[in-house]
């Protein structure tokens, strides 16, 4: 019997060690891809890059975006460990940016919960501490970015003709969408005498674009659908009937926004605050994430502290949701 148990632990130990090498390898590969992506965003140029460019332009971007992603995933991880729920370390997802457009060098990271949730309290804690951690990490990055904006010469080094009348004429125009929180942080932490880049140029500033990305990821994870973090939270707070109703209404709104966004692009309409990309995201949610959250074995009423955290998560969603994440025009 002892030999049998020893063989089981030995096999599990080997599996864990092999898996850790996967985690480490993906992490370092993601460092590389985000360095290249950061250099591309900061310079608007394409490879090959000088080594000095990769360090001065790409590294701040890589550090800040991985800082946000890591806080988010380890929020989930440590909550799972607190409840003694088996889980993996984060698997970072690199995405080579060479030749890509709107590529952030990574598709985030995931952890794998290796057992079913027995009750909604565990589900709630593990679901909420990821977005809360990523939310505050994004705020820290944005505060640093707004408090340390370089002078206008930084943008002029990228676009020397920025103030000319013909700037961006007959060329692609990319503009990122604003959020309530991004606007508030910009108002509070920028120097009135410092040039503040508009949303059509902020992606050249590594701490601004990564902080913005962190807010976007937070809002998308907090959508009250299926097994997204928002689905975990709403289900744990209100039960399956209310979660299914809220998730269904939300998904209908995504489909409406996406459809009207396509109408704006191809039929020349001008519906405000709609985006065609939500149609694709709605399809992904409907077929892969699902609307309805799967049930847990035991369902308890949450205590007051958790209810407050849950309502704070709803506030986070409202502060970070971007009706039109980005727009492209010619």
| pLDDT tens, position by position, 62-98 | 999 999 999 999 999 999 999 999 999 999 999 987 6
3-state helix, strand, coil in the chain (%, to 5): 60, 5, 30
Nearest to 312 by CA among 141, 121, 135: 135
Averaged pLDDT in 10-residue chunks for the chain of 330 residues? 37 59 96 95 84 92 98 98 96 84 90 95 98 98 97 93 81 90 98 94 97 97 97 98 98 98 94 96 96 96 98 98 90
Listed residue (294, 289, 306) closest to 125, CA to CA: 306
The backbone torsions φ and ψ at residue 90, rounded to the nearest 5 degrees and listed phi first, read -65, 140
- The pTM (predicted TM-score) of the whole model is 0.92
329 is written with which tokens? 């025009």
Phi-psi region of 50 (alpha: psi -120 to 50; beta: other; left: phi over 0): beta
CB 84 within 8 A of CB 58: no
CB atoms within 10 A of CB 300: 12
Q: Which two tokens stand for residue 236?
A: 């744990």
How far from the centroid of its chain's Cα atoms is residue 57's Cα?
21
SS3 for 48?
coil
Task: Rounding to the nearest 10 degrees, give the CA dihedral for residues 284, 287, 292, 296.
Answer: -100
Q: What pLDDT is attached to residue 17?
A: 57
- State the pLDDT at residue 2: 36
Establish whether the linkage from the previous residue to 296 is cis, with ω within 30° of 0. no
d(CA 291, CA 286): 6
Q: Which H helix or E strand runs over 232? A: helix 229-238
């Amino acid at each position: 019997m002892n030999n049998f148990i020893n063989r089981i632990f030995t096999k599990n130990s080997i599996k864990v060690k092999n898996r850790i090498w996967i985690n480490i390898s993906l992490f370092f590969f993601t460092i590389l891809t985000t360095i290249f992506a950061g250099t591309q965003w900061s310079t608007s140029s394409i490879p090959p890059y000088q080594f000095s460019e990769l360090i001065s332009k790409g590294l701040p971007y890589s550090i800040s975006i991985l800082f946000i992603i890591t806080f988010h995933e380890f929020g989930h991880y440590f909550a799972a460990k607190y409840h003694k729920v088996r889980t993996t370390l984060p698997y970072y997802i690199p995405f080579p940016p060479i030749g890509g457009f709107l590529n952030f060098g990574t598709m985030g990271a995931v952890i794998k919960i290796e057992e079913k949730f027995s009750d909604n309290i565990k589900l709630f804690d593990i679901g909420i501490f990821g977005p809360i951690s990523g939310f505050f990490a994004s705020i820290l990055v944005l505060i640093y970015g707004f408090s340390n904006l370089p002078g206008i010469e930084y943008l002029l080094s990228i676009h020397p003709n920025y103030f000319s009348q013909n700037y961006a004429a007959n060329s692609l125009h990319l503009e990122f969408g604003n959020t309530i929180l991004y606007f508030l942080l910009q108002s509070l932490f920028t120097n009135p005498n410092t040039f503040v880049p508009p949303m059509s140029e902020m992606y050249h500033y590594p701490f601004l674009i990564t902080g913005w990305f962190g807010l976007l990821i937070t809002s998308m994870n907090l959508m009250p659908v299926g097994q997204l973090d928002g689905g975990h939270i709403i289900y744990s707070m209100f039960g399956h009937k209310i979660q299914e109703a809220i998730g269904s209404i939300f998904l209908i709104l995504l489909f409406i926004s996406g459809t009207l966004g396509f109408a704006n692009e191809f039929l020349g309409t001008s519906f405000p605050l709609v985006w065609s990309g939500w149609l694709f995201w709605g399809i992904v949610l409907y077929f892969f994430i699902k609307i309805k959250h799967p049930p847990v074995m035991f369902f308890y009423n949450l205590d007051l502290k958790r209810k407050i955290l849950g309502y704070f998560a709803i506030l986070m969603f409202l502060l970070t949701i971007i009706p039109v994440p980005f727009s492209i025009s010619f």
